[in-house]
């Protein structure tokens, strides 16, 4: 359980193993099972949400931007695990539903793990995580402006998904791809506003 995670498949296995003895699994239990790698999955979740059609809902960019800022600030202050209010941490789901979702995610995780691997790790480990947090702060602060430009929050979601994956599998190449995607989004926003 103390070994560092190296892949998405290991992440899913750890969540599955640590929650198998409970009938109800809370958000807090899942975050605790992931430990210091909980920032990556949270960024991935926000990225997937923004990349989905939900990003078109009014106010979604601002709402998700505030979560991105919450994550980034916690990385910058050196927290080892993502903090959420107790009313969110206490929310729970049935173990069977969670196991079914984890089983469904195993195949895509295996496919992603074949492509991603630890490389350019200086971009994700130690000081590199502060660079990722700084980029997340810029993304979070730009989110309100993304309400004005259609589909720009989807591109930012893709960048956040890449950053989350980079933190989980230590693939610095994803950080560079996220930086490119967000730079293109920023240019698009500036061009449409001016």
Using the predicted structure, report yes or no on whether residue 176 has a pLDDT greater than 90.
yes
The residues facing 92 across adjacent strands are 26
Q: Quick: pLDDT tens for 15-36.
A: 788 777 778 888 788 777 776 5
Determine the distance from the C-alpha atom of residue 114 to the mean position of all C-alpha atoms in its chain, rounded to a whole number: 19
Instruction: Report the pLDDT value the prediction gives residue 1, as an integer from 0 to 100.
Output: 45
Q: Give the closest residue to 142 by CA, choosing from 150, 153, 158.
A: 153
The CA distance from 114 to 71, in Å, is 28
How high does pLDDT run on average in the chain?
Answer: 82
Q: Are 12 and 105 in contact (CB under 8 A)?
A: yes
So where are the chain's domains?
A: 8-193
The residues facing 171 across adjacent strands are 119
0.75 exceeded by pTM: yes
Q: Quick: pLDDT tens for 94-141.
A: 888 888 888 888 888 888 888 888 888 888 887 888 888 999 999 889
Q: What is the DSSP letter of 94?
A: E
Provide mean pLDDT across the span 160-175. 89
């Amino acid at each position: 359980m103390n070994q560092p995670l190296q892949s998405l498949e290991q992440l899913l296995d750890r969540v599955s193993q640590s929650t198998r003895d409970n009938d109800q699994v809370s958000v807090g239990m899942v975050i605790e099972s992931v430990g210091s790698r909980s920032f990556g999955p949270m960024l991935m979740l926000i990225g997937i949400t923004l990349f989905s059609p939900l990003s078109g809902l009014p106010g979604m960019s601002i709402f998700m931007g505030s979560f991105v800022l919450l994550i980034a600030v916690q990385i910058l202050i050196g927290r080892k695990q993502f903090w959420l209010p107790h009313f969110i941490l206490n929310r729970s789901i049935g173990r069977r539903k969670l196991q079914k979702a984890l089983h469904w995610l195993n195949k895509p995780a295996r496919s992603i793990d074949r492509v991603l691997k630890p490389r350019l790790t200086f971009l994700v480990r130690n000081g590199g995580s502060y660079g990722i947090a700084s980029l997340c702060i810029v993304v979070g602060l730009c989110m309100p402006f993304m309400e004005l430009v259609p589909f720009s929050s989807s591109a930012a979601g893709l960048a956040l998904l890449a950053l989350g994956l980079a933190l989980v599998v230590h693939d610095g190449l994803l950080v560079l791809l996220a930086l490119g995607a967000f730079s293109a989004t920023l240019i698009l926003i500036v061009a449409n506003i001016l």
